[in-house]
Amino acid sequence: MILHQPKIIKRVELPLSKSECNRWLILQDLFPHAFNISNLSDAEDTQILQQLLAEKPHVYNCGLAGTVFRFLTARLSILPGSHIVTGNERIKERPIEPLVDALRQLGASITYLENDGFAPLKITGKPLERNEVDIDNSHSSQFVTALMLLAPALPHGLTIRCRAMGVSAPYIYMTAQQLETIGVRIKIRGNEFRIYPFTPATLPRTIVPEPDWSNASYGYGLVLLGNSSEIYFPGLKRPSFQGDAVVADYFGQLGVETIFTGGGIRIRKYQNHQQPSALNLNLSGSPDLAQTLMVAAAAVGVPFHFSGLHTLRIKETDRLEAMRAELQKVGINIDITNDAAQWEGGQSMHPPLAPFATYNDHRMAMALSMLAALFPIEITNADVVKKSFPDFFKAFF
């Protein structure tokens, strides 16, 4: 796909948060009469999960959807019958052992069918009577979330003790807020979560998921780099379930103002903004913003140091290595370590010397597309955006 200058836009309807919707879908499958969901994200991940929960096949093929794979691993541990959970080749490279170990502590019957610690899995669903578990969540907050979603369906509830809370902690607290929204009792003390068994209310309530703050980040980047004087995103608000709402603060440092209207947000450039000498952020709580911020900061010449990024190595691709390779095409040489990315500045960005690769990663495609505000670019396999924002290019280009 060849992209030129983004169109002048005034309003963008963002997809609903797939992070929220996927949690609601698991909870609705566990408690089908507890609540109704007003609408769902059209992101591919959410559509996959919805279909699998509706069909309940013997083999659950999650495709590229890591969230779906992890949430289903926990959900199927108590669903009677024999189940296979798998995905594409990248899913088979992403760790699942910490979650499997935790579920086995509770008595779950889970077997690795190929390589220990990785998909595919065979799960024999059965009642789980134990009510305490320790988990290593240093790789992903989704391991903890999978257990939290399962917890209120267990006969004695569940106490979850996490090794640490530094990895994508806002997503764990998002899950806690969603559980409390439908009436689940939770006690949080440090790294310990006590979740009680849930009895749904007599009358179901209707849940209205929020639009996706992560996907709003690309609009921020296009306002910063392009000609759109202002974009309105209906439905976004603070406080929000989503930790990525912090994008408003991060782009505020780069020169984009966020105005909360009650019905949504308006974003526009600050007048006479002076860029910071550097942007130093710990993104462990919002790693999905890393690629957007790397592209945006480099494009406006702001040196950066982003830490807390070790989970980017095990996403849809190795996002740190992928960003290093793609930014080289526009003259930006970033330094990466296991958990950080740094650019010291001093290099001018130029039109790409080759088409941008996406590595089958939706966030690579959307982050790099922001550079079309500066010069024409070509992106290969651009339809990968369907994973989270199917209408991305229609909305912005």
Tell me the C-alpha distance between 55 and 132, whole Å. 31
The backbone torsions φ and ψ at residue 16, rounded to the nearest 5 degrees and listed phi first, read -65, 155
CB 3 within 8 Å of CB 385: no
Give the whole-angstrom CA distance, residue 21 versus residue 39: 9
Contacts of 284 (CB under 8 A, 6+ apart): 166, 167, 168, 169, 307, 308, 309
One-character DSSP codes across 300-312: TT--EEEE--GGG
φ, ψ for residue 249 (rounded to 5)?
Answer: -70, -45
Query: What letter represents residue 247's amino acid?
Result: V
Q: Do the beta carbons of residue 326 and residue 357 sit within 8 Å?
A: yes
Sign of the alpha-carbon dihedral angle for 170, 173, 179, 180: negative
- Report helix, strand or coil for 373: helix
21 CB-contact burial (10 Å; exposed 0-12 / middle 13-18 / buried 19+): buried
Choosing from 244, 288, 318, 391, the catalytic residue is: 288
Helix axes 362-369, 290-299, angle to 10 degrees: 20
Report residue 173 as tokens: 């607290």
C-alpha gyration radius of the chain: 21
Kindly give the residue spans of alpha helices, DSSP state H, lying in 256-361: 290-299, 319-328
Dihedral sign for Cα 358, 362, 363, 365, please: positive
Identify the CA nearest to 35 among candidates 221, 240, 181: 181
Are the CB atoms for 378 and 2 separated by under 8 Å?
yes
For the chain, report the end-to-end CA distance as a whole number of angstroms.
11
Q: Which of 74, 79, 136 is nearest to 106 (CA)?
A: 74
| Residue 45 a catalytic site member | no
Judge whether 142 and 96 are in contact, CB under 8 Å.
no
Q: Catalytic positions, please?
A: 288
